[in-house]
Amino acid sequence: MTPTPEPFTTQATPSELDDLRARLRATRWPDAPEDAGWSLGTDIGYLRELVDYWAEEFDWTAQEAALARIPRFRVELGGLGIHVAHVRAVRSHGAADPHGATPAMPLILSHGWPDSFWRYSKVIPLLTDPGAHGADPADAFDVVVPDMPGFGYSDKPAGPPLNSIAVAGLWAELMDALGYDRFGAAGGDIGSHVSRYLALDFPERVLAVHRTDAGIPVALPGLKLTPQERAFVDEAAAWNLSEGAYAAMHRTKPQTAAVGLTDSPAGLAAWIVEKLRSWSDCDGDLENSYTKDEILTLVTMYWLTGTIGSSMRMYNANSAIPQAQLARRVEVPSGFALFPGDIVRPPREWLDRAANTVHVSELARGGHFAAFEEPELYAQELRDFFRPYRRAAPVDQYG
């Protein structure tokens, strides 16, 4: 039987929020070298300010209510409850028109770490109701944004963590449950991997795939690289030496870090906030890209769901994916958006090697979390890329 999506809402209890505030106020702070700033990791001065705001002023209840305005569901897939935002297109400023002349394309968006469906919360209305935001109403999407297993409000796998290939299989089942036979796929970070495997393993269903990165490159044995590709591989290796310690921990000993991060909200914030700053196009100042409320909405979600450990374990699962899988080429039409503040930017030669690349954009602003940092740019990028593939899906699947 096809699983039935059930409406889903959350409401933190007063005791959960009281416990969080008590822990924040009792934080045992480390020392830091004078003027260290962000050079050795999270700036303790900034974090003290953020933690104080979190304990005394941040209104989680208001943020939770704002997220509740997004239609959200849970679906049982593979023995796991998967949380998903599913928002149907608005075709004419408030009137749903699923049987219009040009049907809304279903689009599944996959997030990465350290985030959740939060990554796409700003872009959902721009994609589902473009006419209300100065764009062509014909570019509307039915948007599907699931939380990965072990992230956000989706269940944590009780056994071994799932890798990106397994999650892609779940997403294919999810789209069945939501009534979509063919669809577009997009994502970044781990979500880029999941979108890739959706296109690789379900090419008859994926109309086109859009990614904001091609992953950290793996120079597989026997590959003859161009000078540009070699520079890309070398750049990624240098980044891994200077910035990749977190990923080595996630791949090898995630449970060690999970103990402290699950027990200390200040520690959890330090682990996540440092990545938001390092990977965003914020010029070294987080508040150029995010408000405190936006940052703390993400971090509080991790705290209340207790998912930092389970989210990190997906790195361990992905590290065991065989090289033969990494070497597969995506033949589904593929597009890439390269944002200036992202971690590493692949050359066109690498993208052509990895996929049937029909579209590459170099955007003026944005980083690793572009859908949240620059939602208007990201939404327009998706509208432009997917427009030629809309009529390839049968009209009668929408309803």
Which member of 43, 139, 155, 189 is catalytic? Answer: 189
Beta bridge partners of 107: 143, 184
Residue 189 designated active-site? yes
Q: How far apart are CA 81 and CA 77, in angstroms?
A: 6
Buried b (16+ CB within 10 A) or exposed e, 149-185: bbbbbbbbbeeebbbbbbbbbbbbbbbebbebebbbb
Query: With contact defined as beta carbons under 8 Å apart, do 330 and 199 qualify?
Result: yes
Which of 169, 196, 200 shows the shortest CA–CA distance to 185? 196
Which member of 83, 111, 250, 368 is catalytic? Answer: 368
Q: How far apart are CA 323 and CA 327, in angstroms?
A: 6
Q: How far apart are CA 267 and CA 192, in angstroms?
A: 27
How many other CB atoms are found less than 10 A from the CB of residue 52? Answer: 14
Query: With contact defined as beta carbons under 8 Å apart, do 171 and 194 qualify?
Result: yes
* Burial of 35 from C-beta contacts in 10 A (0-12 / 13-18 / 19+): exposed
Q: How far apart are CA 395 and CA 374, in angstroms?
A: 31
| Residue whose structure tokens are 């045992």 | 28
Beta bridge partners of 143: 87, 107
* Burial of 1 from C-beta contacts in 10 A (0-12 / 13-18 / 19+): exposed
Residue 43 designated active-site? no
Token representation of residue 78:
């593979």
Residue 315 designated active-site? yes
Give the sign of the dihedral formed by CA 58, CA 15, CA 268, CA 69: negative
CA 378 to chain centre: 13
Show the CA angle centred on residue 337, arms to residues 177 and 85, nearest 5°.
Answer: 25
Token representation of residue 158:
């009780």
Which member of 315, 378, 389, 398 is catalytic? Answer: 315
Give the residue numbers annotated as catalytic, written as ranges: 189, 315, 368
